[in-house]
Structure 1
Amino acid sequence: MTQTQDTLKKFIFENAAVRGELVDISNTWREIQGHHSAYPHAVRRLLGELVAASALLSANLKFNGSLVMQLHGDGPVRLLVVECDSELRVRATAKLAPDADIADDASLASLVNQHGKGRFVITLDPHEKMPGQQPYQGIVPLDGGDIATVIENYMLRSEQMETHLWLAANDSVARGLLLQKLPRHSGSGAGPKQATEAEDLETWNRAVMLGNTLKQEELLDTDIDTLMKRLFWEETLRVFDPLQPRFNCSCNRDKVGNMLKMLGQDEVEAALSDLGKLAINCDFCGKHYEFDKVDCAQLFAAPEPVQAQLHTSSNVKH
């Protein structure tokens, strides 16, 4: 059964400090692919899994802002990046090495960590920053053979949170399951009876064991309501109102202008001298922006920009 719209469902295990989420983000994933020329199959699989994971993690953001996950590679795939905000608005892109030849069954290690120099980066970027506040950024070596394991290891190392993820994606479907063991004060008092630490651990181990029965083919072929019932039919769950992830690109002309200002006036004027005008395409949605000499002169007459995160492709010489 196919969801009529993308859906994320959060749930907690009653009387235990364990929470979970299931997401079907397939419509958003297909729209993301529609903004790009076709990626190789192995890249689509990895990026689709990262899209599902971004929604699962962003659903628990405690601030109005964005979570950005990036895999920086030293192989055929140079960059995978997904941004998802606290309202579950998602965008994603990938950058490949020139003339990359990628097999359909290529592994994460061979694509992104070929020489052991791959990095996984998570950035938490509040939309409304306090004066002087910078985004939080965690950078770790790629540790794991798949997207789920990389994120699990990051969460344990950087956030001290036991997290398990099950992710699956193909050309048309992207789904995922997240389970997290919470600090006892965050979940143990959810019901009328407070669980003991031993009971919390027992529930956590049982939930992970049930999650481990989930195969990728089952995750791809089964809607999330059926998956929840199939996996946890013997558990007492409290299920919250569903959330709806969706594609959204936050690029605009002002952000592109700020990016040009950060390049510096000398570099921009040199590019204008060669090209006459600057043509810039957003890597996330493909929207096209042009700046001529008058536009650029107005940019540098304006106040200095606030740094904005924006991935673009252009014929500006870097």
Structure 2
Amino acid sequence: MQDYLKKYLLEDKSVRIESVRMGETWRDAQSHHAYPPVIAALLGELVAASTLLAANLKFDGSLLLQMQGDGAIALMVAECRADMSVRATVKLRDKPIDPTGDLQSLLNPGGTAKFIVVLDPPKNTPGRQAYQGIVPLEGDTIAEALEQYMKRSEQLDTKIMLAADSQICTGLLLQRLPIHGGSNQTEITQADESWNRALHLVETVKHEELLKADQDVLLHRLFWEEPLIAFEPHPVTWKCSCTREKVADMLRMLGKQEVESILLEQGKIEVACEFCAKPYLFDAIDADGLFQAITTPASKTLH
């Protein structure tokens, strides 16, 4: 069954509503990994969140949500592109994983964790430069961390509900849209009432209900009295963008001396994509070819 992100506006266009539910896409994302249940739940929530935020990108690029800290989870990354294709990964330290742990205990026991949002335009964009926002990791959940970020960076009131297990990841986003200049007091009051009413409805959703309920059933239960403006649903898919060329660029970044050192020690270079686990093998001849006719350093890549 196809996975979708669905978008709506309240009739007065003051509040945005988004819903995403991923089954096959989320299972594909995990297919080359064996995440403990508590880790899968956190990563699944981050994947759902990345689609909810990427759905509003104004360019044909990608959005990355990255959390890094000093706990059992060293790094957690989810990426969603403008075509609503996603990929995600977790780097774990060699530490015990508490099966009852939460975001802060697993990622931020030392209080130094960072939450990073990257907006990366397409490579062919003139003057292309990625935007990167870095804030402390605040909140007991991924949803709370994102709400704090949106309040700080976008000055937009945002409510996010997320849930995930090994089979499903899902989320709801409610966002108050800016009131444009020229609005009268009646329109402002109506927008306030719309936001408060929609917020109250979304806050009634329980974690288990979000995880188990069909998207359309849940949205109908919440907003059956509200006229909604519906947009065309966006299919969501899993796709890794790794290529041999990107891995080669990464090896060039290491430098010829480091690559030769690895070859001397191991006889070959084996690199597995951290997202999809696809293996890439470079022998001595391949490695030598990396540095022939190279006159400038390779740019940053993400394999």
Give the alignment's TM-score, normalised by structure 2.
0.95
Distance across 2 between alignment mates of 1:96 and 1:82: 15
Superposition RMSD on alpha carbons, in Å? 1.9
Compared with structure 1, are the counterparts of its residues 258 and 106 closer, same or farther at alpha carbon in structure 2 (3 Å cutoff)? same
Distance across 2 between alignment mates of 1:195 and 1:126: 39
Deviation, structure 1 residue 195: 6.6
Gaps of 5+ in 2: none
Contact preservation (8 Å) 1:152, 1:165: yes
Structure 2 residue aligned with 1:278, among 252, 259, 269?
A: 269
Give the equivalent residue in structure 2 for 1:316.
none
Distance across 1 between alignment mates of 2:301 and 2:160: 27
Contact preservation (8 Å) 1:15, 1:195: no
Secondary structure of 1:202's counterpart equals helix
Deviation, structure 1 residue 70: 0.6
Correspondence 1:93 to 2:89? yes
Give 2:98's aligned amino acid. Answer: A
Correspondence 1:63 to 2:59? yes
Secondary structure of 1:204's counterpart equals helix
Give 1:236's aligned amino acid. Answer: P
Compared with structure 1, are the counterparts of its residues 306 and 231 closer, same or farther at alpha carbon in structure 2 (3 Å cutoff)? farther
Deviation, structure 1 residue 104: 2.0
Deviation, structure 1 residue 132: 4.8
Deviation, structure 1 residue 24: 0.6
Structure 1 residue aligned with 2:75, among 29, 54, 79?
A: 79
Gaps of 5+ in 1: 312-318
Distance across 1 between alignment mates of 2:186 and 2:210: 31
Correspondence 1:309 to 2:301? yes
Give 1:16's aligned amino acid. Answer: K
Correspondence 1:15 to 2:12? yes
Give the alignment's TM-score, normalised by structure 1.
0.91
Give 1:103's aligned amino acid. Answer: D
Distance across 2 between alignment mates of 1:275 and 1:42: 35
Compared with structure 1, are the counterparts of its residues 184 and 302 closer, same or farther at alpha carbon in structure 2 (3 Å cutoff)? farther
Distance across 1 between alignment mates of 2:298 and 2:226: 49
Deviation, structure 1 residue 129: 4.5
Distance across 2 between alignment mates of 1:205 and 1:266: 61
| Percent of aligned positions that are identical | 50
Contact preservation (8 Å) 1:23, 1:52: yes
Distance across 1 between alignment mates of 2:97 and 2:12: 48
Structure 2 residue aligned with 1:123, among 118, 123, 129?
A: 118
Contact preservation (8 Å) 1:119, 1:139: yes
Compared with structure 1, are the counterparts of its residues 302 and 27 closer, same or farther at alpha carbon in structure 2 (3 Å cutoff)? farther
Contact preservation (8 Å) 1:255, 1:308: no
